Amino acid sequence: MADAVSTQEVECLQALAPPPVFSRKCYCETQSELLSCRDARRSAKMAELLKDQVFMAFTTHAAIVTLKLLLMGPLTGYFRITRKSFVNAEDVPGKTAEDKKKMLKPNEDVERVRRCHQNDLENIIPFVFISLLYTLTAPPLSTALIHFRIFTVSRFCHTISYILALPQPSRGLSYVAGVGATVSMGVQVLLKVLVL
Ligand SMILES: N[C@@H](CCC(=O)N[C@@H](CS)C(=O)NCC(=O)O)C(=O)O
Protein backbone atom coordinates (compact mmCIF):
# COMPACT_ATOMS: atom_id res chain seq x y z
CA MET A 1 0.00 0.00 0.00
CA ALA A 2 1.98 2.93 -1.33
CA ASP A 3 -0.55 5.57 -0.02
CA ALA A 4 -0.59 4.34 3.58
CA VAL A 5 0.84 6.93 5.96
CA SER A 6 2.93 5.61 8.77
CA THR A 7 2.57 6.82 12.35
CA GLN A 8 5.99 8.35 12.03
CA GLU A 9 4.92 10.30 8.94
CA VAL A 10 1.77 11.57 10.71
CA GLU A 11 3.87 12.86 13.59
CA CYS A 12 6.18 14.49 11.10
CA LEU A 13 3.27 16.21 9.29
CA GLN A 14 1.83 17.42 12.61
CA ALA A 15 5.17 18.94 13.53
CA LEU A 16 5.30 20.76 10.19
CA ALA A 17 1.73 22.05 10.41
CA PRO A 18 0.74 22.58 14.05
CA PRO A 19 -2.97 22.24 14.83
CA PRO A 20 -5.10 25.44 14.66
CA VAL A 21 -4.89 27.63 17.75
CA PHE A 22 -8.04 29.09 19.20
CA SER A 23 -9.38 30.69 22.31
CA ARG A 24 -13.01 31.05 23.43
CA LYS A 25 -13.84 33.71 20.81
CA CYS A 26 -10.99 33.55 18.25
CA TYR A 27 -10.55 30.62 15.86
CA CYS A 28 -7.28 31.03 14.03
CA GLU A 29 -4.75 29.03 12.09
CA THR A 30 -1.63 30.53 13.62
CA GLN A 31 -0.47 32.06 16.89
CA SER A 32 0.00 35.49 15.28
CA GLU A 33 -3.55 35.39 13.84
CA LEU A 34 -4.81 34.59 17.34
CA LEU A 35 -2.92 37.56 18.79
CA SER A 36 -4.27 40.02 16.22
CA CYS A 37 -7.76 38.63 16.73
CA ARG A 38 -7.41 39.25 20.48
CA ASP A 39 -6.10 42.80 19.83
CA ALA A 40 -9.10 43.51 17.61
CA ARG A 41 -11.50 42.24 20.28
CA ARG A 42 -9.76 44.34 22.95
CA SER A 43 -10.01 47.47 20.78
CA ALA A 44 -13.70 46.77 20.15
CA LYS A 45 -14.28 46.44 23.91
CA MET A 46 -12.43 49.71 24.60
CA ALA A 47 -14.44 51.48 21.90
CA GLU A 48 -17.61 50.13 23.51
CA LEU A 49 -16.51 51.37 26.96
CA LEU A 50 -15.64 54.81 25.59
CA LYS A 51 -19.15 55.05 24.14
CA ASP A 52 -20.70 54.33 27.54
CA GLN A 53 -22.36 57.51 28.82
CA VAL A 54 -21.45 57.00 32.48
CA PHE A 55 -17.83 56.32 31.55
CA MET A 56 -17.78 59.43 29.36
CA ALA A 57 -19.21 61.50 32.23
CA PHE A 58 -16.59 60.06 34.59
CA THR A 59 -13.79 60.83 32.11
CA THR A 60 -15.05 64.39 31.64
CA HIS A 61 -15.26 65.19 35.36
CA ALA A 62 -12.04 63.35 36.26
CA ALA A 63 -10.20 65.32 33.55
CA ILE A 64 -11.70 68.65 34.69
CA VAL A 65 -10.82 68.22 38.38
CA THR A 66 -7.37 66.77 37.59
CA LEU A 67 -6.55 69.73 35.33
CA LYS A 68 -7.84 72.05 38.05
CA LEU A 69 -5.54 70.33 40.54
CA LEU A 70 -2.61 70.67 38.13
CA LEU A 71 -3.26 74.40 37.66
CA MET A 72 -2.76 75.00 41.40
CA GLY A 73 1.01 74.76 40.71
CA PRO A 74 1.16 77.66 38.21
CA LEU A 75 -1.22 79.60 40.49
CA THR A 76 1.23 79.17 43.39
CA GLY A 77 4.03 80.35 41.09
CA TYR A 78 2.00 83.42 40.18
CA PHE A 79 1.46 84.26 43.86
CA ARG A 80 5.15 83.69 44.62
CA ILE A 81 6.22 86.12 41.90
CA THR A 82 3.64 88.82 42.63
CA ARG A 83 4.09 88.57 46.44
CA LYS A 84 7.88 88.15 46.11
CA SER A 85 7.97 85.16 48.39
CA PHE A 86 10.30 82.28 47.51
CA VAL A 87 11.62 79.23 49.31
CA ASN A 88 14.92 78.58 47.52
CA ALA A 89 17.86 81.03 47.49
CA GLU A 90 18.55 80.19 43.81
CA ASP A 91 15.02 81.36 42.90
CA VAL A 92 16.02 84.98 43.71
CA PRO A 93 19.25 85.48 41.77
CA GLY A 94 21.16 88.74 41.46
CA LYS A 95 19.79 90.33 44.62
CA THR A 96 21.61 91.72 47.62
CA ALA A 97 21.78 89.56 50.74
CA GLU A 98 19.25 91.89 52.34
CA ASP A 99 16.76 91.51 49.40
CA LYS A 100 17.21 87.76 49.40
CA LYS A 101 16.42 87.59 53.10
CA LYS A 102 13.20 89.56 52.57
CA MET A 103 12.12 87.45 49.56
CA LEU A 104 12.78 84.16 51.34
CA LYS A 105 10.09 84.88 53.92
CA PRO A 106 6.75 83.07 53.76
CA ASN A 107 3.75 85.06 52.55
CA GLU A 108 0.19 84.46 53.74
CA ASP A 109 -1.32 84.52 50.20
CA VAL A 110 1.20 81.99 48.94
CA GLU A 111 0.62 79.76 51.96
CA ARG A 112 -3.13 79.99 51.36
CA VAL A 113 -2.78 78.73 47.77
CA ARG A 114 -0.48 75.97 49.00
CA ARG A 115 -3.04 74.86 51.60
CA CYS A 116 -5.72 74.95 48.92
CA HIS A 117 -3.53 72.81 46.62
CA GLN A 118 -2.94 70.35 49.46
CA ASN A 119 -6.67 70.17 50.12
CA ASP A 120 -7.29 69.44 46.40
CA LEU A 121 -4.82 66.56 46.60
CA GLU A 122 -6.58 65.18 49.67
CA ASN A 123 -9.92 65.18 47.87
CA ILE A 124 -9.41 64.86 44.12
CA ILE A 125 -7.22 61.74 44.20
CA PRO A 126 -9.80 59.74 46.23
CA PHE A 127 -12.58 61.10 43.97
CA VAL A 128 -10.90 59.89 40.76
CA PHE A 129 -10.23 56.47 42.22
CA ILE A 130 -13.65 55.94 43.86
CA SER A 131 -15.61 57.37 40.93
CA LEU A 132 -13.82 55.01 38.53
CA LEU A 133 -14.87 52.02 40.68
CA TYR A 134 -18.37 53.49 40.92
CA THR A 135 -18.51 53.82 37.10
CA LEU A 136 -17.58 50.14 36.78
CA THR A 137 -20.66 49.21 38.85
CA ALA A 138 -22.81 50.57 35.96
CA PRO A 139 -24.90 53.09 37.92
CA PRO A 140 -27.79 55.01 36.28
CA LEU A 141 -26.46 57.98 34.27
CA SER A 142 -28.61 60.54 36.13
CA THR A 143 -27.37 59.40 39.57
CA ALA A 144 -23.75 59.29 38.42
CA LEU A 145 -24.02 62.78 36.92
CA ILE A 146 -25.43 64.20 40.17
CA HIS A 147 -22.41 62.82 42.09
CA PHE A 148 -19.82 63.96 39.51
CA ARG A 149 -21.32 67.44 39.13
CA ILE A 150 -21.64 68.04 42.87
CA PHE A 151 -17.99 67.07 43.33
CA THR A 152 -16.64 69.19 40.46
CA VAL A 153 -18.65 72.28 41.43
CA SER A 154 -17.73 71.81 45.11
CA ARG A 155 -14.00 71.84 44.34
CA PHE A 156 -14.22 75.06 42.32
CA CYS A 157 -16.28 76.67 45.10
CA HIS A 158 -13.74 75.45 47.67
CA THR A 159 -10.85 77.00 45.72
CA ILE A 160 -12.64 80.32 45.20
CA SER A 161 -13.63 80.60 48.84
CA TYR A 162 -10.12 79.62 50.00
CA ILE A 163 -8.15 81.94 47.69
CA LEU A 164 -10.48 84.89 48.21
CA ALA A 165 -10.69 84.15 51.95
CA LEU A 166 -14.51 84.25 51.83
CA PRO A 167 -16.20 84.01 55.22
CA GLN A 168 -17.05 80.56 56.54
CA PRO A 169 -19.06 78.38 56.12
CA SER A 170 -18.50 78.87 52.37
CA ARG A 171 -15.30 76.80 52.28
CA GLY A 172 -16.54 74.31 54.87
CA LEU A 173 -19.77 73.64 52.95
CA SER A 174 -17.94 73.25 49.63
CA TYR A 175 -15.61 70.75 51.26
CA VAL A 176 -18.47 68.79 52.85
CA ALA A 177 -20.39 68.62 49.54
CA GLY A 178 -17.35 67.15 47.75
CA VAL A 179 -16.56 64.66 50.49
CA GLY A 180 -20.27 63.72 50.62
CA ALA A 181 -20.32 62.91 46.89
CA THR A 182 -17.17 60.75 47.13
CA VAL A 183 -18.34 58.93 50.27
CA SER A 184 -21.76 58.28 48.72
CA MET A 185 -20.13 56.67 45.66
CA GLY A 186 -17.77 54.67 47.86
CA VAL A 187 -20.68 53.29 49.90
CA GLN A 188 -22.57 52.35 46.73
CA VAL A 189 -19.52 50.53 45.37
CA LEU A 190 -19.21 48.56 48.61
CA LEU A 191 -22.93 47.72 48.67
CA LYS A 192 -22.64 46.31 45.15
CA VAL A 193 -19.46 44.30 45.39
CA LEU A 194 -18.87 43.60 49.08
CA VAL A 195 -16.76 40.48 49.53
CA LEU A 196 -14.91 40.26 52.84
N1 LIG B 1 -6.57 68.50 55.99
C2 LIG B 1 -7.75 69.27 56.26
C3 LIG B 1 -8.88 68.31 56.66
C4 LIG B 1 -10.25 68.97 56.88
C5 LIG B 1 -10.63 69.82 55.67
O6 LIG B 1 -10.27 69.53 54.52
N7 LIG B 1 -11.34 70.92 55.95
C8 LIG B 1 -11.69 71.85 54.91
C9 LIG B 1 -12.97 72.60 55.29
S10 LIG B 1 -12.86 73.53 56.70
C11 LIG B 1 -10.60 72.85 54.60
O12 LIG B 1 -10.75 73.63 53.69
N13 LIG B 1 -9.51 72.81 55.40
C14 LIG B 1 -8.43 73.73 55.25
C15 LIG B 1 -7.18 73.12 54.71
O16 LIG B 1 -7.15 71.93 54.36
O17 LIG B 1 -6.20 73.86 54.56
C18 LIG B 1 -7.44 70.30 57.35
O19 LIG B 1 -6.37 70.21 57.95
O20 LIG B 1 -8.24 71.22 57.56
Under 8 Å CB-to-CB from 189, ≥6 apart: which residues? 130, 133, 134, 137
pLDDT at 17: 61
Give the integer Cα–Cα distance in Å for 65 and 171: 17
Contact 103, 86 (CB under 8 A): yes
Q: Ligand 1 site: residues with CB under 6 angstroms?
A: 115, 119, 122, 171-172, 175
Ligand 1 nearest-atom number relative to CA 176: 9
Helix 108-136 vs helix 170-193: crossing angle, to nearest 10: 20
pLDDT at 38: 83
Ligand 1 nearest-atom number relative to CA 119: 16
Ligand 1 nearest-atom number relative to CA 122: 1
Lowest-confidence region among 50-64, 85-99, 172-186: 85-99
Residue nearest (by alpha carbon) to ligand 1 atom 3: 119
3-state secondary structure the chain: CCCCCCHHHHHHHHHHCCCCEECCCCEECCHHHHHHHHHHHHHHHHHHHHHCHHHHHHHHHHHHHHHHHHHHHHHHHHHHHHHCCCCCHHHCCCCCHHHHHHHCCCCHHHHHHHHHHHHHHHHHHHHHHHHHHHHHCCCCHHHHHHHHHHHHHHHHHHHHHHHCCCCCCHHHHHHHHHHHHHHHHHHHHHHHHCCC
% of the chain with per-residue pLDDT over 70: 90
Average pLDDT, the chain: 89
Model's pTM, two decimal places?
0.80
CATH numeric code, 39-195: 1.20.120.550
pLDDT at 16: 62
pLDDT tens-digit readout, 100-125: 888 888 999 999 999 999 999 999 99
Give the integer Cα–Cα distance in Å for 171 and 161: 5
pLDDT band at 89; cut points 50, 70, 90: confident
Cα 175 to averaged position of ligand 1 atoms, centre (Å): 8
pLDDT at 93: 75
Pick from 108, 175, 176 the residue to mutate for probing ligand 1's pocket: most ligand atoms within 8 Å of its CB.
175
pLDDT at 21: 67
pLDDT tens-digit readout, 49-80: 788 999 999 999 999 999 999 999 999 999 99
Contact 130, 182 (CB under 8 A): yes
- Please provide the distance, in angstroms rounded to a whole number, between the alpha carbons at the two ends of the chain: 68
Between 5 and 31, the higher pLDDT residue: 31
pLDDT at 24: 66
Report the complex ipTM. Answer: 0.98
Query: Letter for the amino acid at 158?
Result: H
Name the CA dihedral angle for 67, 83, 111, 100, rounded to a multiple of 10 degrees. 120
Cα 101 to averaged position of ligand 1 atoms, centre (Å): 30
Region 180-194: what's the mean pLDDT?
Answer: 96
